[in-house]
Structure 1
Amino acid sequence: MKNKLSLGYSPCPNDTFIFHALTMGLVPWAGGLDVTLADVEELNGLAARGALDVVKVSTAAAAGILDEYVLLRAGGAMGYGAGPVLVAGEGRTLQSLDGGRVAIPGERTTANLIFGLCCREAGISVRRMPMVFDEVMPAVEAGIVDAGVVIHEGRFTFGERGLIRVLDLGAWWEAHTGLPIPLGAIAIKRSLGEDTARRMNEAIRQSLLFARNEPEAGRDYIRGHAQELSEAVVQTHIETFVTDYSLDAGEAGVRAVSRLLAEAGCTRKDIFITL
């Protein structure tokens, strides 16, 4: 049995909040962990290559890795009022973007998948330009693109840059499905076996519970990876993207992920570990 595992997650406050205790050994993992922090689209690519044992991925990206990975029920980003937002300069509408250029935070992201569904429903076609998530709003401001799909803290800060919300993609998903928006999930290699998967699921749950019970313990770790964000934005980020679904996806969460993956063309049924 392999005990030392490679673990990857993003430097965003929701992930560092959840994984701090596990990474620092406050929640033990026998054998230890090799930790990689990277942008979500980079993590999606690492998962596609099977480079990490346990990895945070965009839920949409999970559609392409389920032969090698299975999803844990804990550690994900899912909820209501937490989705990506399409932003642009004053006066823009969704229809006005037909034929235009729209920045997206990676081709394999959930944000891109849902944006594509919105465009299909609206009957418009756009040229999607993949970028690292923190390059999207500057590209809109500079006129490099006509609009951009923002994730993470961009949901809270686009107004400070003089941009407007053209469409709340999360609200669109909720209205069409009645389900929470499944933004990201934790995947683990199937080859590690069910017992290791269950133990990792529980370790992540305990790490999150530790963070909730001892919020000051991970403060410096979270702030160290979110240097450009204000204290208020960091806290709002955590409150928005770390929900009870992060402790356990539950029935609604499983249905939400299954629905999203079906939209991505995935027909596989054994998506989640069994507890």
Structure 2
Amino acid sequence: MRKKITVAHSPDADDIFMYMAVKFGWLGQDFDFENVALDIQSLNDKALENFYDVSAISFALYPLIADEYALLRTAVSFGEGYGPKLVKKKDKILKKNFKVALSGAHTTNALIFKMKYKEAKIIYKNFLDIEKAVLEDEVDAGVLIHESILDFDKSLCVEAELWDIWLDFAKENLPLPLGGMALRRSLPLSDAIKIEKILTKAVSLADSNKAILSKMLMQRKLIRVDEEKLNTYLNLYANKNSISMNELQLKAVNKLFELGFNYGFYEKNIDVKDYLIPLEYEEIRNS
């Protein structure tokens, strides 16, 4: 009997896209994978509870769960010249203590926002409800994420790109770490290595078969956007750089952790390479 592994991810297009090669049975596997789709803050909250075997998380959350979860190299989303957007009504002038809607306390966009706008009054909402909150004057502004950055009401304008804010803090041109995947340390290391390899292959297959998989997702009505926006979004957040983190991406994650530590969000500064699954274990074991 195969072991059941629960993989939790967000309902946005890139997470679904990167997971569905597993769901559709495109690769042989040693586990029965079961998936759960939740908004990013719910995923972060569940990770704090050590709830799911494998979970999508905000990179900014990771130092808070590092003792319970290893960080996977695969199924990652980075902004490179783009990212979440702080939007407001075009006629709105933001005061220092403006009221803003964010998608969750432990998201990367929240971390960067808090470093920049220290006096803002924050409320947290499901990312799907943020645009509406701005339009109905529940808040003065909101940070849009996921597909929302591609198409929002014409009465709104971009006050700030979080990409630009990130570059100001990072002091160098590094990709913006947004979403990653974490795996529970309670799983046997041999299983952890196999799971990371399966998910890496799934993301690689998805990227190589983007047209076929996109059509399948559209036919099953698993995506909230039309085909054109889906292709645009996947090119941004689910691409060859999502398959396995490279050295520049790892450097960017470390910079995020360093900034979070320097601004008092984490108790200690950690090096991401110390928290990845040691793939070399399998080679040593089989040698």
Q: Which amino acid aligns with 1:90?
A: K
Q: Which amino acid aligns with 1:70?
A: A
**Distance of 1:102 and 1:28 partners within structure 2:** 46
Note the residue ranges of structure 2 that are not aligned, 5 or more in a row.
Answer: 280-287
Secondary structure at the residue paired with 2:183? strand
**Distance of 2:116 and 2:212 partners within structure 1:** 41
Any idea what the Cα deviations from partners look like across 1:130-176, whole Å, max 9, x if unmatched? 00001000000001100001101121112x34210000002221343
Q: Structure 1 residues 27 and 175 mapped into 2: Cα distance closer, same or farther (>3 Å)?
A: farther
The equivalent position to 1:167 in structure 2, one of 121, 135, 160, is 160
**Distance of 1:172 and 1:74 partners within structure 2:** 26
Any idea what the Cα deviations from partners look like across 1:23-54, whole Å, max 9, x if unmatched? 22212321311211111111111111111000
Question: TM-score if structure 1 supplies the norm length?
Answer: 0.90
Q: How does 1:26-65 map to 2 (within 5 A)?
A: 26-65=26-65
Question: TM-score if structure 2 supplies the norm length?
Answer: 0.87
**Distance of 2:270 and 2:190 partners within structure 1:** 21
Q: Tell me whether 191-200 or 145-154 shows the greater mean CA deviation.
A: 191-200
Q: How does 1:90-105 map to 2 (within 5 A)?
A: 90-92=90-92, 96-105=94-103
Counterpart of 2:222 in structure 1 is 225
**Distance of 1:51 and 1:29 partners within structure 2:** 23
Counterpart of 1:67 in structure 2 is 67
Q: Tell me whether 65-74 or 204-213 shows the greater mean CA deviation.
A: 204-213
The equivalent position to 1:257 in structure 2, one of 253, 259, 264, is 253
Q: Tell me whether 218-227 or 133-142 shows the greater mean CA deviation.
A: 218-227
CA contact under 8 A between 1:12 and 1:225: conserved in structure 2?
no
Q: Structure 1 residues 171 and 196 mapped into 2: Cα distance closer, same or farther (>3 Å)?
A: farther
RMSD over aligned Cα atoms:
1.9
The equivalent position to 1:267 in structure 2, one of 269, 276, 279, is 269
CA contact under 8 A between 1:103 and 1:139: conserved in structure 2?
yes
Note the residue ranges of structure 1 that are not aligned, 5 or more in a row.
Answer: none
CA contact under 8 A between 2:48 and 2:64: conserved in structure 1?
yes
Q: Tell me whether 102-111 or 264-273 shows the greater mean CA deviation.
A: 264-273
CA contact under 8 A between 1:40 and 1:58: conserved in structure 2?
yes
**Distance of 2:239 and 2:245 partners within structure 1:** 10
Q: How does 1:144-159 map to 2 (within 5 A)?
A: 144-158=138-152
Q: Which amino acid aligns with 1:267?
A: N
Higher relative contact order (CA 8 A, sep 6+): 1
Q: Structure 1 residues 78 and 210 mapped into 2: Cα distance closer, same or farther (>3 Å)?
A: same
Any idea what the Cα deviations from partners look like across 1:229-267, whole Å, max 9, x if unmatched? 222211111111113331111111112112212314242
Q: Which amino acid aligns with 2:231?
A: Q
Counterpart of 2:188 in structure 1 is 193
**Distance of 2:110 and 2:255 partners within structure 1:** 16
Secondary structure at the residue paired with 1:106? coil
**Distance of 1:82 and 1:182 partners within structure 2:** 11
Secondary structure at the residue paired with 1:70? strand
- TM-aligned CA deviation for residue 214 of structure 1: 2.1
Over the matched positions of the two proteins, sequence identity in percent amounts to 27
- Runs of 4 or more above 4 Å deviation: none
